[in-house]
A and B are shown apart, each in its own frame.
Chain A
Amino acid sequence: MINANNYFVNKIEASQIPIKQVEEYLCPEVRCHIKGLPTDFKGAIEEIRLRVNKPLMVYGNYSDYFVGTSGQLLKNEYNAVITNKKNIENTLNFISNYSMYAVEEELKRGYITIEGGHRIGITGRIIRDEKGIKAMKEFNGLNFRISREKKGVSAAIINYLYDLGEFQNTLIVSPPQCGKTTLLRDIIRCISNGIPQQKIKGMKVGVVDERSEIGASCQGIPQMDIGIRTDLLDSCPKAEGMLMLIRAMSPQVIATDEIGKESDSLAIEEALKAGIKLITTVHGKSIEDISSKKVIGAIVKSRIFKRIIILSNKNDVGTIEAIIDGDTMKNLLSKPLKNKVVS
């Protein structure tokens, strides 16, 4: 059935699946402009932005462009397509599957995740009551963030995270936009599936996904591959979620994103008491940087984390600067790893 020719065609199409998935949700007027974008740009596109009475914009290949009527990329806005309120309202109707009443909670949070794990940010007028944000109405902008699953980004470092076949508590330290969630997700997948080549068995992983970024869940179902032994609590506060998982799902490893609150450290203690391994992330540039922070600094000083991964985007997104052994505070890497994975 599969011949070489066919395979080649499929491969080209595969890089464009994400944009195809997103196109379905755009209103017809905007959709035809986006369909006309150059093919190679479609493979690299990261964002599509619609703002009321402003030009239609796309972001990809490290710069943003305006979009012309037949999909050409423009550097200035003079001939760009202007998106209006109607476009945004219609697009929102498609995003919500013609059911705005079913996405009230998502609107309150300001984003909707669609099939394929793509996330759509929404802005508009907020309606408040005494309990806080009640609803969002009169929408003025949409941002389609196209997600590309980068399977295999942890391949180069996963071995460092095991010591004598045992997974070590790991902390990922990274400035924003350096691929920390992507790396975390891939590590979770590897821990959960196990690494047959190294004779490392898969472990039960519990994920508390407070901001729905790790699994990119759409209606509760993770859209990203997070492994076969993974249980995920979507949109759940970290501290409560960790305790829930410990009680209910008997995980061997617990993974969360961005710890830093007082309550988190209590939950971490609880998890360690139960003999559960941890993997988590924190915003920061270096060990010194995070040591000065109150909660996370104390945790690092108590030597709970045996492996600390430092990320940066000095050379490219996702460069691994160092992997530090938490006991000896020595760097396990001889030089920074450039870790760009082309999906």
Chain B
Amino acid sequence: MLIKVISSIVIIISFTLIGGIHANTYSNRTKLLSQLLISLQMLETEISYSATPLPILLSNIGKKSKEDIGSIFLKASEILSKKEGYTFSYLWSMILDSEGMALDLYPEDLEIFKQLGNNLGATDINNQIKHIRLIMEELRRNHEDAIIAEKRNVKLYKQLGLLAGFAIAIVLF
């Protein structure tokens, strides 16, 4: 009897945790997207006011950004400073392919983030600003979707985990 009670409790707790973890991916996405928007805003400001060269600029942004997003900028800056001869768009999509998977972003978010590399640094200031604003606009739309999805799903998956735990425990009892 005691064993049954204990194992039921364990099942309930673990299912609740699984639900919680899954729910977290939704709130993580929202957080990441808003951090990304902040980083891009910094990028735009730096380019338009101080015309800092890209390798230095990316490392500055990387240091100021939150860990997950920052590490991508830092990595890009590090590879650029080595001057191995990659074009920026190639290098950027390479970094996002390897590092982006670990982030709680949707493929469509990553795709937009990747587009940033197509043009960054390759045109004059006005076009750079237009390009960054366009990317930000698209990300903002995804950010809004992410907020809606977060509101809807976080509670849902937390409760679903708990209930599934109970259901299985009852069936097994």
Interface residues of A (CB under 8 A from B): 24, 26-28, 31, 89-90, 93-94, 96-102, 104, 135
Contacts and interface: CB of A to CB of B under 8 A. Distances in A.
Contact of B121 (A24, A26, A98, A135): A98
B166 interface: no
Contacts of A135: 124
A102 B52 contact: yes
A98 B54 contact: yes
B51 A97 contact: no
A104 B122 contact: no
A96 B57 CA distance: 13
Contacts of A99: 51-54, 57, 121
Given A98-B53, A99-B51, A93 B87 contact: yes
Contact of A93 (B47, B51, B88, B124): B88
Contacts of B54: 97-99
A98 B125 contact: no
Interface in B41-96: 47, 51-55, 57, 80, 83, 85, 87-88
Contact of B85 (A94, A96, A100, A104): A94
B39 interface: no
A114 to B, nearest CB: 12
Nearest to B91: A98
Contact of A101 (B87, B88, B124): B124
B123 interface: yes
Contacts of A101: 47, 51, 121, 123-125, 128
A85 to B, nearest CB: 13
Which secondary structure characterizes the binding site on chain A?
helix
A98 B47 contact: no
Q: Mostly helix, strand, loop or mixed at chain B's interface?
A: loop
B159 to A, nearest CB: 49
Contacts of A100: 121-124
A97 B120 CA distance: 12
B131 to A, nearest CB: 10
Given A97-B54, A104-B124, 12 more contacts: A89-B122, A93-B122, A94-B85, A96-B53, A98-B53, A98-B80, A98-B120, A100-B122, A100-B123, A101-B47, A102-B51, A135-B124
A62 B110 CA distance: 53
A212 to B, nearest CB: 18
Given A98-B54, A98-B55, A102-B53, A24 B83 contact: yes
Given A24-B83, A27-B85, A90-B87, A97 B125 contact: no
Contacts of B51: 99, 101-102
A101 B122 CA distance: 7
Q: Which 4 pairs between the two chains have the least Cβ-Cβ distance? A: A28-B85, A98-B54, A98-B121, A97-B53
A223 to B, nearest CB: 17
A113 to B, nearest CB: 14
B17 to A, nearest CB: 45
Nearest to B84: A28
Residue of A97, A98, A100 contacting most chain B CB atoms (<10 Å): A98
B171 to A, nearest CB: 60
A9 to B, nearest CB: 24
Contacts of B53: 96-99, 102
Nearest to A90: B87
A325 B56 CA distance: 53
Nearest to B76: A98
A89 B54 CA distance: 16
A117 B87 CA distance: 24
Contact of A97 (B47, B55, B85, B128): B55
A256 to B, nearest CB: 28
Contacts of A94: 83, 85
A26 B51 CA distance: 23
Interface string B88-129: 100000000000000000000000000000001111110010
A31 to B, nearest CB: 6
Nearest to B81: A97
A210 to B, nearest CB: 23
7 contacts: A90-B87, A94-B85, A98-B80, A98-B120, A100-B123, A101-B121, A102-B52
